[in-house]
Chains A and B, each alone.
Chain A
């Protein structure tokens, strides 16, 4: 038998507790950062002042056009030079969060554009203050429209989180690599890691598709 069941049973608990915990932290941390920062980026992007909206647009486009891995390197290697010291996990969360904020910014932007013009006009006609219109009329609708796409990005962040293992984060993938390198035998740990991602990502995507259909109707 090629597959080593004894070893599988030996490493499985660690992968599913220690590794999973870190993966979940990275995913949720990255997602929260991405969802919040993305909203700010979207608002800045829509600013009527070109000296704000243009640079923000350029930077988000730049970040979307370059690899997450290299951006993780930047945060991991460069920030300490400026006296910022963080754990690898925090570094990873910042990297993931900023990278995906540039994607969610586009999602929010589409959501805001999708709010019917009549809503604005109605609010203006009621003489509501501008910031109030944004907070109570436009953003709630925009965020609601954005939910399915944000859900997809949550899954995407989950699936990309193994990249953090490259900057020494010990998530499911990091742990699997560590275990594999101890015996120089990767078959079991990597297969388990892969199955683990499949088992979470597929139901999650199906759930999001459902949600999307519900919001459509």
Chain B
């Protein structure tokens, strides 16, 4: 049996015509998803912890950030970063960088809410037990609260990462050559629309599925960390807008 390269131009008909381009686009989509995820998760951790702070001012800063980036749509933020900001600051982002930044800032704001909610959901008694054992505030967070909160973060984070993957398609609007961009190009240059769109959707779906598999694995590991026997086998209620 020979293995078939799914990105080969040798494939019959529209497949051969489209797949090389779609594959190239898919790689860009994956790269932006990865970049955006790393940034979003980093922001979510920092801002989410700030939002759980006991200090009012720190909480306030986090709140403003979260409301601001959840209050406008990614497309507007993306346009602003790429087209409007340079006029104001004179600094022009590379388009992929602008894209990743917009993804990270926006999804990071939603992620902060996930982190804050999970930290809040750890029973206060755990914090008190840690105080009684004379942990420092940092140690309480790092060794007692966060590890327990982590488990609760994974399922909503799964949803967020899928939202992030889907949102990368907007980068095509500022001409980042991702999957959506390549697909639209193919359609505009006369390839069979139905087949090209179907292929695009399937590739996006597979990526979403990949994220879910990955996060289930993480959830399983995290669950065992806090002694939960079986992880829940369910994608919890859908994402971004649910996470308040």
Residues of A within 8 A of B (CB): 2, 62, 64-71, 73-74, 77-78, 81, 103, 106-107, 110, 149, 152-153, 155-156, 159-163, 165-166, 173, 177, 180, 185-187, 190-191, 193-194, 197-198, 201-202, 205, 209
Whether B133 sits at the interface, judged by CB under 8 Å, is no
The answer to whether A190 touches B201, judged by C-beta atoms less than 8 angstroms apart, is no
**What 6 A-B pairs come out closest when comparing CB atoms?**
A186-B83, A65-B208, A67-B169, A156-B241, A67-B166, A187-B87
Q: With A77-B197, A103-B241, A156-B240 in contact, do A70 and B204 touch (Cβ < 8 Å)?
A: yes
Measured between C-beta atoms, what is the minimum distance from A89 to chain B in Å?
A: 17
The answer to whether B76 touches A193, judged by C-beta atoms less than 8 angstroms apart, is yes
Whether B109 sits at the interface, judged by CB under 8 Å, is no
Whether B56 sits at the interface, judged by CB under 8 Å, is no
* Chain A residues, CB < 8 A from B184: 73
- CB < 8 Å neighbour of B79 from A110, A186, A198: A186
The answer to whether B187 touches A67, judged by C-beta atoms less than 8 angstroms apart, is no
A-B contact pairs, 20 of them (CB 8 A): A2-B87, A64-B238, A65-B162, A67-B180, A68-B166, A69-B169, A73-B187, A73-B197, A77-B193, A77-B197, A78-B193, A106-B237, A106-B238, A149-B242, A191-B84, A194-B77, A197-B76, A198-B68, A202-B67, A209-B244
CA distance A110 to B70 in the complex (A): 24
- Please report the number of residue pairs spanning A and B whose Cβ atoms sit closer than 8 angstroms: 126
* Chain A residues, CB < 8 A from B88: 2, 187
Interface of A is mostly: helix
Considering the complex, give the chain B residue whose CB is closest to the CB of A71: B201
Considering the complex, give the chain A residue whose CB is closest to the CB of B243: A152
The answer to whether B84 touches A186, judged by C-beta atoms less than 8 angstroms apart, is yes
Q: With A65-B208, A67-B166, A177-B79 in contact, do A159 and B187 touch (Cβ < 8 Å)?
A: no
Contact with A along B167-181 (1 / 0, CB 8 A): 111101100000010
Whether B209 sits at the interface, judged by CB under 8 Å, is yes
Interface size class of B (residues with CB under 8 A): 35 or more
* Chain B residues, CB < 8 A from A62: 201, 205
CA distance A126 to B75 in the complex (A): 53
Whether B26 sits at the interface, judged by CB under 8 Å, is no
Considering the complex, give the chain B residue whose CB is closest to the CB of A107: B237
* Chain B residues, CB < 8 A from A67: 166-170, 180, 204
Residues of B within 8 A of A (CB): 67-68, 70-73, 75-77, 79-80, 83-84, 87-88, 162, 166-170, 172-173, 180, 183-184, 187, 193-194, 197, 200-201, 204-205, 208-209, 237-238, 240-242, 244
Q: Interface centre among B68, B80, B87, B193, by most A CB within 10 Å? A: B87
The answer to whether B194 touches A78, judged by C-beta atoms less than 8 angstroms apart, is yes
CA distance A155 to B70 in the complex (A): 10
* Chain B residues, CB < 8 A from A193: 76
- CB < 8 Å neighbour of B84 from A190, A198, A202: A190
Considering the complex, give the chain B residue whose CB is closest to the CB of A158: B73
* Chain B residues, CB < 8 A from A159: 71-73
CA distance A186 to B187 in the complex (A): 28
* Chain B residues, CB < 8 A from A110: 237
* Chain A residues, CB < 8 A from B244: 152, 205, 209
- CB < 8 Å neighbour of A197 from B71, B168, B169: B71
The answer to whether A69 touches B180, judged by C-beta atoms less than 8 angstroms apart, is yes
The answer to whether A163 touches B208, judged by C-beta atoms less than 8 angstroms apart, is no
CA distance A191 to B88 in the complex (A): 11
Q: With A187-B88, A198-B71 in contact, do A180 and B80 touch (Cβ < 8 Å)?
A: no
CA distance A69 to B172 in the complex (A): 10
* Chain B residues, CB < 8 A from A156: 240-241
CA distance A105 to B140 in the complex (A): 40
* Chain B residues, CB < 8 A from A201: 70-72
Taking A66-B208, A166-B173 as given, write out 19 further A-B residue pairs in contact, using a Cβ cutoff of 8 Å, ordered by the A residue number.
A2-B87, A64-B238, A65-B166, A67-B166, A67-B170, A67-B204, A70-B197, A152-B241, A159-B72, A163-B170, A173-B73, A173-B76, A186-B79, A187-B87, A190-B76, A190-B80, A191-B80, A197-B73, A198-B68
